[in-house]
Amino acid sequence: MERLLSVADIAPEKKNFLYLAYLGEEAKKAGLELARFFRRNGVECLIEFKDRGMKAHFGRANKLEAAWVLAVGEDELRKARYGLKEMATGRQVEGNRDELLAVLRGR
């Protein structure tokens, strides 16, 4: 069995989930609603309840190997437009939740 496994080309399963990063209490509440929206629409989403700075959120998302990070802060709440970053490529997209759902689904 060990010989078979040593020559088998088995790639680890790629993690394909959205990490939701927020700044502030209002952004946290909005983030929870966004997480519910994305989950209802088939997107795996992680939101942590520990308050962190944005840099720490991105570091945590990188450590967890999140595919995407959605940033929610005061400016984003005011405009109802959020920043979405693809971690592997660094590509960034801004949009409302429906536009970002289309991006996450690959449309």
Asked if residue 91 has pLDDT above 60, the reply is yes
Q: Which two tokens stand for residue 97?
A: 């939740």
Locate the domains of the chain by residue range. 20-104
Q: What is the pLDDT of residue 7?
A: 75
**DSSP annotation string for 47-63:** E--S---HHHHHHHHHH
Lowest mean pLDDT segment, chosen from 8-17, 18-27, 61-70: 8-17
Asked whether the beta carbons of 69 and 18 are under 8 A apart, the reply is yes
d(CA 56, CA 101): 24
pLDDT in tens, 38-84: 999 999 999 988 888 999 999 999 999 999 999 999 999 999 999 99
From the options 1.10.287.70, 3.30.70.1450, 3.30.750.200, 3.40.50.800, give the CATH code of 20-104.
3.40.50.800
Mean pLDDT over residues 80-89, rounded?
A: 94
Q: How confident is the model at residue 107 (pLDDT cuts 50, 70, 90)?
A: low
d(CA 53, CA 39): 24
